Amino acid sequence: MQEQSSVKPLSSVLPEGGAGNDSVESPPRRPFLFLFGAVTIPIIILDQATKLFVQAHMALYESIALIPNYLDITYTLNPGAAFSMLADAPPWVRKAFLLTMACAAIIVLGVLIVRADRISITSVAFAMVLGGAAGNLIDRAIRGRVIDFMRAHYYDLNYPVFNVADSAISIGVVLIILASFFGGDDEPKPDQAG
Does 65 map to a domain? yes
Task: List per-residue pLDDT tens for the chain, 194 residues long.
Answer: 555 555 555 445 445 544 545 555 555 567 999 999 999 999 999 999 999 999 999 999 999 999 999 999 999 998 876 556 666 777 777 778 888 888 999 999 999 999 998 999 999 999 999 999 999 999 988 988 999 999 999 988 999 999 999 999 999 999 999 999 987 554 444 444 44
**Closest Cα to residue 28, out of 120, 124, 128, 122?**
120
Instruction: Kindly report whether the global pTM for this prediction surpasses the value 0.85.
Output: no
Does 51 map to a domain? yes
Does 13 map to a domain? no
- 185 noted as active-site residue: no
- 166 noted as active-site residue: yes
Q: Are 131 and 166 in contact (CB under 8 A)?
A: no
Number of domains in the chain: 1
Does 190 map to a domain? no
Catalytic residue among 47, 72, 139, 148: 148
Catalytic residue among 166, 185, 186, 191: 166
Does 85 map to a domain? yes
Does 149 map to a domain? yes
**Parent domain of 73:** 29-180
